[in-house]
Amino acid sequence: MKNYSLLILTVFLCFTTCKKEDKNENLCYSSTLISQVNSGDLAVHGLTYNSNCLIYESTEPFIYKKFSYDDHNILNKVELAYSLNPFSCAMIPGQSQESDPRKAKISQYSEFKYDDDLRLTKKLNYFINNGNPQLTSYQTYDYENDKIVKLSSFNPQGLLTQYHDYKYDDNGNITRDDQYINSSAIKLVNTTICEFDNKNNPYQVFACEGNPGKYTNKNNIITETSVSYYGTAESHNTRVNVYQYNTLDYPVKINMLDCIYGQ
C-alpha cells in the first residue's frame, strides 16, 4: 500500500512539473477552457490550447496527443504517443521527469479531410512501424442539417467493419447512438440513450477530432443507458453523472473528478 501511495505521489509531481513547463505566452488561457482534471490529489488529465484557443495538447495517464492545424485553423493532424513508464512525465506524457513531454515518441497519428463546406468527411488512422506509416483504418461521416448522423469505419482494404447511427435533440446533443458491426451480416450490437443537463460541456474542445458524443454534445450527459445485444439476449447498464457548476455554467466537479479552468 505504501508503494502504491508513493507511485501516485510521484506521478502527480511529474504531471505538475510538466504542466508548469507549458506555461508560456504562446498558449491560450481562458475561464471557459478546461485545463486540468484531478481525481483527489492526482492529476489525471491536462489540456493546453494554442494562441487561437484551439486544443493543442491532451495528456492523460500513458497517453499524449498533439493537435496540428492549417493556416485557416482547421485540424489536419492528431499525433499520439504512449508510455508504460509510471515514474515519468511520459505517463502524462514525456520521456522522463526532466524531459519535455513534446519529445515523446509518436507511434500513431490521424489525418483529416473536409468537403467544400469544411465539414469533416474522412479521418485516416496510421500506425508508425519502424518509421513507416501504415494505414490501420479510416472513418467517413454522413450529415443531415450539418450534424453527423452516421459514422462508418473501414479497414485499410475499404471493407466496412462497423457504423454508428446518431439521433439528436434540439440542442445538438446525441440522444441515441446505435452501433452496428459487419461480420457475416450487419448486426445491431449496442444502443446508447442519453439525457442531458442545460449547462456547458467543457469537452466540446475535442469536437474537431470527429468522435460524436461526449466530445461534440453542447450539454453534459446526466444519464447514459447502454443496451448490448447478444443474439436474443440483452444486457442493460445505466450510468448517472452528478455535476457541480461554476458561475459560467461549466462543471467544476463531475462525479469524483475536479475540473480546473484557465490555469
Contacts of 85 (CB under 8 A, 6+ apart): 91, 96
pLDDT value of position 51: 96
Q: What is the pLDDT along the chain (263 residues), one digit of tens a residue?
A: 544 444 433 444 444 444 444 455 589 999 999 999 999 989 899 999 999 999 999 998 888 999 999 999 999 999 999 876 544 433 343 333 334 455 668 999 999 999 999 999 999 999 999 999 999 999 999 999 999 999 999 999 999 999 999 999 999 999 999 999 999 899 999 999 999 999 999 999 999 999 999 999 999 999 999 999 988 899 999 999 999 999 999 999 999 999 999 97
pTM of the predicted structure, to 2 decimals? 0.84
Instruction: Classify 96 as helix, strand or coil.
Output: coil
CA nearest 47: which of 58, 37, 39, 38? 58
pLDDT value of position 8: 39
pLDDT value of position 70: 97
CA nearest 258: which of 235, 240, 242, 247? 242
CA nearest 83: which of 68, 67, 61? 61
Other beta carbons within 10 Å of 98: 9
pLDDT tens digits for range 207-219: 999 999 999 999 9
pLDDT tens digits for range 150-202: 999 999 999 999 999 999 999 999 999 999 999 989 999 999 999 999 999 99
pLDDT value of position 102: 56
User: Could you give the CA distance from residue 61 to residue 77 in angstroms, rounded to a whole number?
Assistant: 21
pLDDT value of position 101: 53
- As a whole number, the mean pLDDT across the chain is 87
The single-letter code of the amino acid at 147 is K
